[in-house]
Amino acid sequence: MTATEIRGVGVGRLVATGPLIRMPEPLPEPARDERHDGDAAAEKARVAAAFAAVGADLTARAAQAGGEGAAVLEAAAMMAQDPMLADDVNRRIDGGTGAERAVFEGFASFQDQLTALGGYLAERATDLADVAQRIIAHLRGVAAPGVPSSPTPFILVARDLAPADTALLDLTKVLGLVTSDGGPTSHTAILARSKSIPAIVGATGVLDLADGTALVLDAEAGVVTVAPSAEQIAEAQRRIAERAAQAAAPITDGALADGTKVPLLANVGSPADGAEAVALGAEGVGLFRTEFLFLGENDAPSVESQQTQYTELLRHFPGKKVVVRVLDAGADKPLAFLNDAHEENPALGLRGLRALRASEQVLRDQLTALKGAQDATDADLWVMAPMVADEHETAYFVDYARGLGLHTVGVMAEVPSLAVLADQVLQVADFVSVGTNDLTQYTLAADRMLGSVASYQDPWHPAVLRLVKLLGDAGAATGKPVGICGEAAADPQLAVVLVGLGATTLSMTPAALADVRAELAAVTLGQARARAAAALAAPGAAEAREAARLA
């Protein structure tokens, strides 16, 4: 058999090679006409016992998993204990539906509601399907579908992994992950990134492969090679060894070959992420996404509870910079209590700073809590606002935050207008931080959540790079920092180009720090600028990537 290739979306840049094992298919759907024998009370008792058993099992797995996996499993356990879901299922049983079908339908209807909300909540819909499968398996008295085990290492192939599976992966056995479904923000992708597991998602066709088939998984290229040649396997093994050597390299501060400092910072989503960021050598935090405190809540959390969480994160970074972004609600992060109006184009709607201005008390409370955390710790706290359009909005946020006692106040460059007006913006802001995910979406007019336009979401596009250059130039002219905190900073080749365009710090998921550190150490500022100039002159993203490589 000669090698064939299956394409998908790579998560990170790692490589793996080995035989595949497929995840068992989910349980068959309970029959549509399943009815119970008339004893609704007994049927409900069976369901209540199954809900409780699955909830307890997930809680126990959470305790075993620790870290991010624990949070994911605890959330799933909470779903299994949700009284609204149990009520819905009981109503169906009262109507005569059998237990398994009632669970299936109750969860499916809840899942539809989440999917309709879109964005982050839609991604969580998969978690719900997994909990339903577990409850149905319990009712049937069969084993819950889960990660297969093997005495020897393997690449796990699945439709999409559920949180309960990903959280418990035995990393000594699972060399890599390939899924046929799921996007770059699915659980498979999130956990693969945080645990540095090579992964490719959305690889259509991979489920047709037989167990034991040899694969090479190249996440950087987004390619799964089926039945690779001996040379392809040897090349993959060389890259795996190279990467292992890089990861084992001593952790140093970020710097170019000529000694130019480029502080490497971490993107974090909760205070608990702080420890891992420090362990992987983050010199501070470049983006603390504070949405985790608000998502799923009906009201904003109190000043006191927010202050506790912010203080917990800041304590990991004494004397170091921690950039906290105020709440970024709307579009891919919907929050009903800030904006529940139907919007045709939520990405262009009342989101980010716009939504906070419309509910100023939420902003005031958050900044007050941050000021409290600033006073309670030795960290160097910086605050910034998302989705800022121009100097007027910058001045509003800077004045508001300074008025509440925050020392260092900046804005994110995500809307192209802000980059175009960078010289004006940096007259009033203390710094800017470029959110390349949104800056790319708005520059190319392509919704970052929409698979059909995913090819536009490429921060290598010279139009995006030219906007970064405007920001870099304005930073140099005013002597103010220009950080990068979007995903682009985690791409080592692009990180070099961004420094060449004038970025002064790079912030990324902690797992990417080692690769970026190694790449920066191999180039001088002059070389970085030459690569940036080559990329700026290219007509498209692919050409920019190639031009930078050859420069």
Question: Residue 286 interacts with Mg ion (CB under 5 A)?
Answer: no
Judged by beta carbon distances under 5 to 8 A according to partner kind, the member of Mg ion, ligand PEP, none in contact with residue 486 is ligand PEP
Question: Strands, DSSP E only, in 167-320?
Answer: 174-179, 199-201, 214-218, 223-226, 264-268, 284-289
Judged by beta carbon distances under 5 to 8 A according to partner kind, the member of ligand PEP, Mg ion, none in contact with residue 436 is ligand PEP
Judged by beta carbon distances under 5 to 8 A according to partner kind, the member of ligand PEP, Mg ion, none in contact with residue 127 is none
Q: Catalytic: which of 138, 187, 316, 461?
A: 187
Q: Which residues bind ligand PEP (CB under 6 A)?
A: 287, 289, 328, 414, 435-438, 485-486
Judged by beta carbon distances under 5 to 8 A according to partner kind, the member of ligand PEP, Mg ion, none in contact with residue 165 is none
Closer CB to Mg ion, residue 69 or residue 330? 330
Chain positions 436 to 455 lying near Mg ion, rule: CB under 5 A, are 438
Closer CB to ligand PEP, residue 212 or residue 451? 451
Closer CB to ligand PEP, residue 117 or residue 234? 117
138 is catalytic: no
Q: How far is the CB of 267 from Mg ion (least distance, A)?
A: 11
Q: How far is the CB of 507 from ligand PEP (least distance, A)?
A: 8
Q: Are 255 and 40 in contact (CB under 8 A)?
A: no
Q: Catalytic: which of 36, 138, 461, 485?
A: 485
Nearest residue (beta carbon) to Mg ion:
438
The C-alpha angle 153, 159, 163, rounded to 5 degrees, equals: 75
Identify the residue whose tokens are 């050598």: 281
Closer CB to ligand PEP, residue 187 or residue 333? 333
Per-residue three-class SS string for 157-182: EECCCCHHHHCCCCCCCEEEEEECCC
Amino acid identity at 109: S
Q: Which two tokens stand for residue 36?
A: 């119970």
36 is catalytic: no
Q: What DSSP character marks residue 150?
A: -
**What whole-number distance in Å separates Cα of residue 348 and Cα of residue 201?**
28
Judged by beta carbon distances under 5 to 8 A according to partner kind, the member of Mg ion, ligand PEP, none in contact with residue 263 is none
Find the binder of Mg ion among 18, 435, 472, 510 (CB under 5 A).
435
Q: String of b and e for 517-540 (b: at least 16 CB within 10 Å)?
A: bbbbeebeeebbbbbbbbbbebee
The residues, any chain, with a CB within 8 Å of residue 4's CB and separated by 6 or more, are: 225, 226, 227
Pairing of strands 223-226, 264-268: unpaired
Closer CB to ligand PEP, residue 216 or residue 323? 323
Q: How far is the CB of 331 from ligand PEP (least distance, A)?
A: 8
Pairing of strands 380-385, 505-508: unpaired
Catalytic positions, please? 187, 485
Q: Which residues bind Mg ion (CB under 5 A)?
A: 414, 435, 438
